[in-house]
Amino acid sequence: MTTVALDPTVELPLTVQLYRNVKNVPELRQKVIAGQIKCCFINPKYILDPFQLIVAANKALTCENRITKTVFTEILYNLSISKNITRSLQQFGITDDCRDLLVVMVGGESDGAAAQIDGEEADLGVLEEIRDLGAIRKAYKIKELEEKNTTLLDSVVSRIATKDFIVH
């Protein structure tokens, strides 16, 4: 589990946990959709580095007008370069066949989300084994030439930060 401070204007911490071999993903997914769990479940195959989550969360919590209904769906929306809410949530959220998931919680309270996960908590360093670089490049439309001039993480974070200003 990792907890970091977000933008000073937000004054809330962001907590990220990685779980492997989760057996009850369909149940968790339904609970989060119903608002019974106050967190964000993210498919880790699209996450290159936890910094990506911090940027998306800061953006979600500092925006003047939220695009989606909750801060958690706003984080998922901000991870994507798509302005289509449904596509963003489907791509970065968990599906019933996911066995690994990232849990993102805002503020000090987890509302018991972790206790409801039937899986093994793992160190965030394991993310390197789970992430899919090809899927990340495709999701963020990163070409080979771009990677010769900058890091993949810089490209991903730049796209998250500038999503509102660029048409894809």
Which domain, by its residues, includes 69? 2-162
Domain containing residue 80: CATH number: 3.30.2380.10
Per residue in 56-79, pLDDT (tens digit) is 999 998 888 888 988 999 999 999
Q: For residue 80, is it within any domain? A: yes
Q: How far apart are the first and last CA of the chain?
A: 34
What is the 3 state secondary structure string of 106-153? ECCCCCCCHHHCCCEEECHHHHHHHCCHHHHHHHCCCCHHHHHHCCHH
Q: For residue 16, is it within any domain? A: yes
Q: For residue 128, is it within any domain? A: yes
Per residue in 73-112, pLDDT (tens digit) is 999 999 999 989 999 999 999 999 999 999 999 886 556 7
Tokens 């979600």, residue? 60
